[in-house]
Amino acid sequence: MDLMILAQAAQETTTNTNLANGLVYGLAAIGPGIGIGYLVGHAVEAMARQPEAASLVSTNMFLGIAFTEALALLGFVLAFII
């Protein structure tokens, strides 16, 4: 009887862990998602207004994406570690 309860508890823990994995990544992706959208949107606007500055803008845009994306990737790695 006790064993049955233990087994059930173990199964529940596994389910909760899987749920937590998904939630960690999903929550971590919200902020960077908004950030990258905002960043690329404004970069495109800048390139449209001043096409001759496009190469400078796109270099800085990739730089900004790399910094913003790091947060989402930390969440992705954390989801596997948990």
Partner 1 sequence: MTSLLATEATDTGFQLPEISHLFEFPAWADGGLFGDGSLLAFNRTAMLYLLAALLTIGLAMAAFRNPKVVPGKLQAGMEAAVDFVKNGIIGAIIGPEGMRYLPLLFSLFLFIFVNNLFEVIPGINFPTTSRMALPAFLSLTIYFLFIFVGVKAQGVKYFWNAVSVPGVPKAMLILIVPIEFVSTFMLRPFTLAVRLFANMMAGHILLTVVFLASNYSLIDFHSLYEGGVPEIAAHGWIQFALGIPIFIGAVALVGFEILVGSLQAYIFTMLAAVYISGSLSPEH
The half-sphere exposure of 28 on its side-chain side, counting CA atoms within 13 A, is 18
What is the pattern of x (binds partner 1, CB under 8 A) and - over residues 18-57?
Answer: x--x---------------------------------xx-
d(CA 2, CA 60): 61
Cβ proximity to partner 1: between 34 and 63 the closer is 63
Cβ proximity to partner 1: between 20 and 30 the closer is 20
DSSP annotation of 50: -
Residue 52 has φ and ψ, to the nearest 5°, of: -75, -15
d(CA 51, CA 58): 11
Least spacing, CB of residue 71 vs partner 1, in Å:
9
Q: Which residues bind partner 1 (CB under 8 A)?
A: 14, 17-18, 21, 55-56, 59, 62-63, 65-66, 69-70, 73-74, 76-77, 80
